[in-house]
Amino acid sequence: MLWVSWIFFNAGTTKSLFLPRSESAPKIILNTLLASSVSGMVTVLLKPHALDIKNVMNRYDVPSLCNGILGGLVSINGSCAYVEPYSALAIGAIGSVFYCYAVRNMNKFEIDDPLESCCVHGACGAWGTIAVGIFHSKLGVVNGKFELLGIQILGMVVLTSWSVITTGLMFLTMKYYKCLRLELSVEMIGLDIAQMGGLDDKLYDKMVKNFNENYKYTLESI
């Protein structure tokens, strides 16, 4: 559903089906499909090696395929109207590499991102911004011009700096006032139950009490 919606999101920004062929809705749809498809395929093949997954049962999983497709969509988003179809293939493939190794680095530094959203939107978004300056059919490096690439890199640096500074201040403030983490019992029981009213108060209090008693017993036995 998201894949199909993304196609119409990109093509719909033209607001017309009668633009010149070089920037038309059909070309945008083609580039969007090519980049996302090749990114999904490359991810399925590359991610097990990037993460050093040895278990054959877990080598090819649907979530990785879906995130690979999303990474390709993010990568081609900024340039879908301005690159040739062969460039869209390259953008999608390279976007998959950015995604896979971003996941590897997140795991290496033990940064919690269970949905790998930062890898999809952050790493692939940064690559997609740079890709505009490289593969733009008229103003890009492929056409012997470098000015647009410099502008794109500057924009990426500014946006990254803004995001890091503002979110860093927010999370440091939350950490200082000790409101960044939940109680361990709530984490283990799950927010769906603890915060969304999945259980009545008496049963929930009983679960918390049982968890705390069992957790204390486990620590003492160790």
d(CA 138, CA 22): 11
124-to-83, 85, 207 alpha-carbon distances in Å: 17, 19, 41
Domain ranges within the chain, ordered by starting residue: 2-155, 184-221
Locus of tokens 């603890």: 194
d(CA 66, CA 57): 18
Tens-digit pLDDT profile for residues 150-203:
999 999 999 999 999 999 999 999 989 888 877 777 777 777 666 666 666 666
Q: Are 43 and 6 in contact (CB under 8 A)?
A: no
d(CA 23, CA 67): 27
Looking at domain 2-155, which CATH architecture does it have? Orthogonal Bundle (1.10)
Give the max Cα distance, the chain: 74
Q: Are 89 and 36 in contact (CB under 8 A)?
A: no
Tens-digit pLDDT profile for residues 82-102:
999 999 999 999 999 999 999
Tens-digit pLDDT profile for residues 54-66:
666 656 678 899 9
Q: pLDDT: is 41 or 59 the higher one?
A: 41
